[in-house]
Amino acid sequence: MIQVKLKDDVRTYEAGVTVYEVAQSIGAGLAKAACAGRVDGEAVDLRTKLDHDCTVEILTFDSTEGKHAYWHTTAHIMAQAVQHLFPDAKFAIGPAIENGFYYDFDLPRTLTPEDMDAIEKEMKAIIKADIPLERIEMPADEALKLMEEKHQDYKVELIQEHSGKGEKISFYEQGDYIDLCAGPHLMRTGQVKAVKLTNCTGAYWRADANNKMLQRVYGISFPKTSQLEDYLHMLEEAKKRDHRKLGRELELFTIMEEGPGFPFFLPKGMILKNLLLDYWREVHKKAGYQEISTPVILSRKLWERSGHWDHYKENMYTTVIDGEDYAIKPMNCPGGMLVYKTKMRSYKDLPLRMGEIGLVHRHELSGALHGLMRVRCFNQDDAHIFMTPEQMKDEIKGVVKLIDSVYKTFGFPYHIELSTMPEDHMGDEATWENATNVLREAITELGYDYDVNEGDGAFYGPKLDFHLQDCLGRTWQCGTIQLDFQLPERFELEYIGADGQKHRPVMIHRVVFGSVERFIGILTEHFAGAFPLWLSPVQVQVLPIAERHHAYAEQLRDMLESAGLRVEVDERSEKIGYKIREAQLQKTPYMLVIGDKEMADQNVSVRHRKAGDLGAMSVNDFIDRLHEEVAQKARD
């Protein structure tokens, strides 16, 4: 007999019981919803047998690993459908991804929209057949022979990488289809209830342009049809909100072929960007930060000392100056170290909070570039806090509160992840454990829930990542707090303690926006380009009905600009209805319609982009209204 620790219980089972049978013993509803299991922290198949005392969690579609098993199984269903329709198909890889799954195929011809429909139809037939999936393990030589017989060249290549390691190779079989795979997977194809293929693109095998171009088919699946419908609606809404589209229409930014991954900000975009930076500076000044600026290009010796040359070089742009190697900075931290070292510090100077909006460059593959969301240069709103060990927890709490206040200003809910020590790390495990515990204690004492992301810390320390959620329910990792004992050691940072002796400070790396450019992209999609008044590049459009109203319109513009508002006058010879529609399309918060009555009464007729006609009001009342809205950083 074995003891199985569950979420709220400990139960006794006979050795050899499967995770699925444990789920059945808890309840039929849970067993039906189960996608996979977690045994002693590791995601496994429901068909996994338990032979020792362990901790077991049943994973449904609501969990990350449950979704992974669900979508990975659907990728296999798609591959089986492709095999039925294209018997000569060769299969590469077909993983679950953040939203759904894909599979890379080597096919005799390019897929058409009609082929996509046929594949989806065949997938539904396979789902209806409710075929069981079985896990099979065999030695590498047998696995190699099996895939060679099936002429699956890509699978052969993958197996050959494992041959000679003494490992058994796992496959999953469903009916007439068998695939090289580690799992975990669902028990049967019939557990997939709603499926949709969403896109087909080209993809090089192993992302290497020297290899063959394959066809990558993307899809999504859900346990309920209503969930699929909601997701497809979200995709349509996301298309309307695409920041690349809105960036062009609202004249915010552009990406040019002369600089792929290097965004150009246009005048209105610069207004938005500077308003965000002004807000950042205001918040950080109140929180006791001092602003610094460090060079964009620094010596290789600095990057070797920081560890970036060994751990991050493939993402860095390098150059040679006076016969010496230099690198364009991918991060601001090493420059911050040098600023700290410009003079001897005392414990009375600590905590020392230094902020920098620094331009950084990171090499990204061209296929990964995406508008402002993934670029090759961006402004990072970095800050580095140097402190005594006793100050760590309070400083972490202070940063968490600051990030919380900023995200609330924009209306973003968020969740926190604690990322722990990666395999490729600097420093000893005891130091890492201490740093991780300090982060954990700080957020626990503040009353925050968090998830643990094992092994995803930075190479120099554990971190807290803040994943904000936009109005479509999508999450974006923006803020981060990284606790670092390593770089102060590498750079030999010191302070004079109360005992008159030299001590090593502890350091926090942290960002709030993350990438200012990416944050602008997120804001653009979140607000669908209809930015809150305080952020809108143009806050008021003055719309004179006829030419005789132009003089009063220009007088109004001068008054509003004197009051600190951003104003445009539309003096085109167009009908007023057309001007209003154009202002609406430009997402302008307020429109002032100016005709004979307004000119005679020396007032304004006010329209709001969302609330519509607000009626007539005096110019001073209108200005007071907008000043209050800006001061409160109100959202529509």
* Mean pLDDT computed over 44-59: 93
Report phi then psi at 629, rounded to 5.
Answer: -65, -40
* Mean pLDDT computed over 43-48: 93
Is residue 52 annotated as part of the catalytic site, yes or no? no
Q: How far apart are CA 79 and CA 69, in angstroms?
A: 15
Query: Looking at 104, 115, 179, 382, which residue is catalytic?
Result: 382
Which CATH number applies to 533-631? 3.40.50.800
User: Which tokens go with 302?
Assistant: 């600095």
Confidence band of 164 (pLDDT split at 50, 70, 90): low
The 3 state secondary structure assigned to 328-379 is: ECCCCHHHHHHHHCCCCEEHHHCCEEEEEEEEEECCCCHHHCECCCECCEEE
Which CATH number applies to 65-232? 3.30.980.10
Topology of the domain comprising 2-60: Ubiquitin-like (UB roll) (3.10.20)
Mean of the per-residue pLDDT values of the chain: 93
pLDDT single digits (tens) 261-280: 999 999 999 999 999 999 99
What is the value of pTM for the model shown?
Answer: 0.81
Residue 444 one-letter amino acid: T
- Distance of alpha carbon 622 from its chain centroid, rounded? 39
Could you write out the DSSP letters of every residue in 505-551?
Answer: PEEEEEEEEEEHHHHHHHHHHHTTT---GGG-S--EEEEESSGGGHH
Is residue 284 annotated as part of the catalytic site, yes or no? no
Contacts of 481 (CB under 8 A, 6+ apart): 396, 399, 400, 403, 439, 463, 464, 508, 509, 510
Query: Looking at 362, 374, 518, 526, which residue is catalytic?
Result: 362
pLDDT at 263: 95
246 has a pLDDT exceeding 70: yes
Under 8 Å between Cβ of 74 and 192? yes
Q: How far apart are CA 143 and CA 137, in angstroms?
A: 9
3-class DSSP state of 310: helix
Is residue 401 annotated as part of the catalytic site, yes or no? no
Is residue 377 annotated as part of the catalytic site, yes or no? no
Is residue 162 annotated as part of the catalytic site, yes or no? no
pLDDT at 166: 66
pLDDT at 533: 98
Q: How far apart are CA 61 and CA 222, in angstroms?
A: 8
| % pLDDT > 90, the chain | 84
Query: Looking at 268, 353, 425, 509, which residue is catalytic?
Result: 509
* Mean pLDDT computed over 495-516: 95
Q: How far apart are CA 435 and CA 400, in angstroms?
A: 16
pLDDT single digits (tens) 555-589: 999 999 999 999 999 999 999 999 999 999 999 99
Is residue 8 annotated as part of the catalytic site, yes or no? no
User: Which tokens go with 351?
Assistant: 């905590």
Report phi then psi at 168, rounded to 5.
Answer: -85, 150
Residue 492 one-letter amino acid: E
Confidence band of 360 (pLDDT split at 50, 70, 90): very high
User: Which tokens go with 13?
Assistant: 């089972």
Direct distance between the N- and C-terminal alpha carbons of the chain, in angstroms, rounded to an integer:
61
pLDDT single digits (tens) 106-126: 999 999 999 999 999 999 999
pLDDT single digits (tens) 420-434: 988 878 778 888 888
8 has a pLDDT exceeding 90: no
User: Which tokens go with 215?
Assistant: 């066809």
* Mean pLDDT computed over 323-336: 94
Query: Looking at 35, 333, 377, 478, which residue is catalytic?
Result: 333
Is residue 477 annotated as part of the catalytic site, yes or no? no
Vertex 381: Cα angle to 378 and 384 (nearest 5): 130
Domain map of the chain by residue range?
Answer: 2-60, 65-232, 253-296+329-526, 533-631
514 has a pLDDT exceeding 80: yes
User: Which tokens go with 411?
Assistant: 């209306």
For 229, other C-beta atoms within 10 Å of its C-beta total: 13
Query: Looking at 284, 463, 526, 607, which residue is catalytic?
Result: 463
Under 8 Å between Cβ of 307 and 490? yes
Helix, strand, coil share (%) of the chain residues, nearest 5 = 40, 30, 30
| Class of CATH domain 253-296+329-526 | alpha beta
* Mean pLDDT computed over 85-101: 94
* Mean pLDDT computed over 368-392: 93
